Copies of this chain bind each other. A is one copy, B any other.
Amino acid sequence: MTRDSDVSFLEDFHAVAQIGATPAHGVDRQAATAADRETREWFRAFAEQRGWETRVDSIGNQFALVELVPGAPYVLLGSHLDSQPLGGRFDGAYGVIAGLHAAERIAARAVSATAGPVYNVAVVNWFNEEGGRFAPSIMGSSVFAGIKNEQEMLEVRDLSGISVREALAGIGYLGTDERPVVSAYAEIHIEQGRILEREGLTIGAVDRSWYTQKLDIEVLGEQSHTGATAMADRHDALLGAAKVIAKVHEVTDLFEPETLVSSVGQLTLEPNSPIVVARRVHLIADLRADDAATVLAARDQLLADVTEIADAYGLTINARDFDVRDNQHYPESGLALAEAAAAELGLGSRRIRTMAGHDSVAMNRIVPTVMLFVPSVDGVSHCEREFTRDEDMVEGVAMLAEVGWRLAHGALQAEDAGLSGTSATAAAHA
C-alpha cells in the first residue's frame, strides 16, 4: 500500500464520521434512521465510483461486490455503519470503511500478481449490529447466517412501535437482491478494552467470544397515589426494579474481579407520572463472561434475588432468558493466518477475547472467519469519547488487506482441509 492510499482511507473515515455527528465528536446513527440511510448512500457511491456491483438483501444488509474470478464465491470483509444513540464514530464504521479500502487494494494487487486470487472479494455493511433501536443486536448478520428468522426480525418493533420492515422500507433499504455466496469472512474492529493499548500492540486476533445472555424482566406492582397511599399499602414496581438493578450489578462481586460483567441499560416505566406509584417496569439485564458457567451461576443467583424482591415488596416479577449466545471459537487456522500476516507487516499482535458481540460471531457459524482488533484509547466505547488513533487505523487497514488477500487465495479452505477436514462443512454452509 502507499501513503496516498492511507490518506484516502483517513479522508473517507473522517468524512463518514460527519454523518449523524454529535457535538462531542460522536455519532447518532441508529439502525434505519435518516443518518443510517445517509451512510448507505455514501457506501453505494464508493462502490459505484469503482464500478463495483452493489446489492441490498431483504433484511437491509448492503454489499459491494468486487469481481476478480468470474463465478467464484466471495471473501467477505466488513462490519456495520449503524451506531448506538450518542455512540462513538469508530465502532463498526471503522470496519466497513477499512473493508472498502482493503478490497480496493486487493483488486489493485491482483492486477499484477503472479498468483491471482481464487475467490472474489466483497464488502458488507450489516444491518442493525447495535440493537439500540431494534433488539436483538447483530440482526442482519444473524439472518444472513441463518441463526435468526428473517420474518420474525422484520416484525421486531422499536419503542415507538415502528417495525424493522417499516423502518427499512422508509429509508429505501428493504432490498430484494440475492445474497452473495461467501467462502470466508474477515472483520476488523476497535478493541473496546484496554489490553492492546496497555501492551503496546497494534493487532488483536480474536480467539473466542464471551458467553452472553440477557434477562428480560417485568416487574408488576399496583398503581396508586404517591401522596395518599400508606407506605405499607404500596406495591411499587419502580422500587422493585431499583432493587433488581442493584442486584444485577452486585452479582459481579460474587465472582473473581472482571470475570463477569452485568448491568441494566434499558428500562420502561408505567405510568411514569411524578405523583403515581408505578404499576409496571420492564427492563433488560445483560450478563457476559468468558466462562459460560459463570454467567449461568450469576443468572441463577439473580432469579433467586428476583423472587426475594417480589416477596419482600408485594410484587410479581417475571424473568425470562433472552438472546443467549454461547462462546464462539474462531478457527485456529484463521488465528495462525492473522499472526503470519501481522508478522509479515511487522505489526505487534496477540490473541485476545471479545466481551462485546460482533457480526463476525454470527458469520463464524457458517464460514471460516478472522476477527481482528485495533487499540481503543482508554478502552471506552458506545460513547462519544470512544477513540482510536489514525496510525492504528491505518495499520489495521493494511492488516485487513493482507488477511483478505490470503483468504482470497483460499488460505483457510486449504489449511482447514489439511488440518481438520472442515472445508466440506464450510463450503456447504457458504
A interface residues with partner B (beta carbon < 8 Å): 84-87, 130-133, 135, 137, 159, 192-194, 210, 212, 214, 222-234, 236, 238-239, 241-243, 245-246, 249, 252, 257-258, 261-279, 284, 286, 288, 354-357, 379-384
Contact = CB atoms under 8 A, between A and B. Distances in A.
A279 to B, nearest CB: 7
A212 to B, nearest CB: 7
Contact of A261 (B230, B242, B273, B381): B230
B85 A273 contact: yes
Nearest to A91: B225
A356 B132 CA distance: 39
A261 B380 CA distance: 41
Contact of A286 (B132, B266, B274, B288): B274
B265 A277 contact: yes
Contact of A239 (B192, B228, B249): B249
23 contacts: A85-B271, A86-B279, A130-B275, A133-B273, A137-B274, A214-B274, A222-B383, A225-B381, A228-B355, A229-B381, A231-B258, A233-B380, A236-B249, A236-B263, A238-B265, A242-B245, A263-B277, A265-B278, A266-B273, A267-B269, A267-B272, A274-B286, A275-B382
Nearest to A379: B233
- Counted per complex, copies of this chain come to 2
Given A238-B245, A273-B131, A284-B274, A383 B261 contact: no
A212 B227 CA distance: 9
Given A238-B245, A246-B242, A267-B238, A355 B227 contact: yes
Nearest to A210: B227
A257 B241 CA distance: 24
A268 B269 CA distance: 9
Contacts of A379: 228-230, 233
B382 A84 contact: no
B223 A356 contact: no
Nearest to A272: B266
